[in-house]
Amino acid sequence: MTQRTPSGLFISFEGIDGAGKSTHIAAVADWFRARGRRVTLTREPGGTPLAEKLRELLLHDAMDPLSEALLMFAARRDHVLQVIQPALARGEVLLCDRFTDATFAYQGYGRGFDLQVLGQLEQWVQQQPGQDRLLEPERCFWFDLPPAIAAARLVGARQPDKFEAEAEPFFQRVASGYAARAAQSPQRFARIDASQSLEQVREQVLRHCEQFWGPA
């Protein structure tokens, strides 16, 4: 009897800089691997040679909000075609450090860029061939953290990029953007209280994994 290939699963990890989301991606990858799933780890902006080049521009070069949004979606388009869609077609679990929710939070709410324009770019870049729906994560782990705590965590951690160097009001707006996205799509978002200890945050994340995709 032929074994059925599992369906691909797309999961994103979101939150303001300093929320600690990247720390917990490996734990989720291990959780799925322990259950026999193949896992692809990737990030945005980035994930392909072209997108990584664009990442360097986005994180370090000054530009107006429209240029920033266009470069972000150009990187995403290459990432979708070269990494995300192929991994999902192979039935893998794809774990992505940021995706389009970040663009709405950072460029839309943080920069104040037109949300309708971002929505149009989202349609162009993420429209599924032959389907009346967008490619988007099935589940988004949102690491929710007050910006003041995030800023304290980032002090002295590393040389900040242009986003990390923004003042606290910027991150207040970004945080409100994530909250708005979660309110619009509550079925997609799993809110994680990122103000707790590392161990407590990891427990929250793995508890959600068990709730969504099966007990340990």
Is 176 one of the annotated binding-site residues? no
Is 15 one of the annotated binding-site residues? yes
Is 156 one of the annotated binding-site residues? no
Is 197 one of the annotated binding-site residues? no
Is 20 one of the annotated binding-site residues? yes
Burial bucket for residue 213 (CB in 10 Å: 0-12, 13-18, 19+): middle
- Of the candidates 48, 50, 40, 134, the one whose C-alpha atom is nearest the C-alpha of residue 94 is 40
Contacts of 216 (CB under 8 A, 6+ apart): 210
Cis peptide before 45 (omega within 30 of 0): yes
- Helix, strand, coil in percent for the chain, rounding step 5: 55, 15, 35
Beta strands in 15-81 (DSSP E): 39-43
* CA gap 196, 155 in Å, rounded: 18
Is 16 one of the annotated binding-site residues? yes
Is 18 one of the annotated binding-site residues? yes
* CA gap 208, 214 in Å, rounded: 9
Binding residues for ATP: 15-22
Binding residues: 15-22
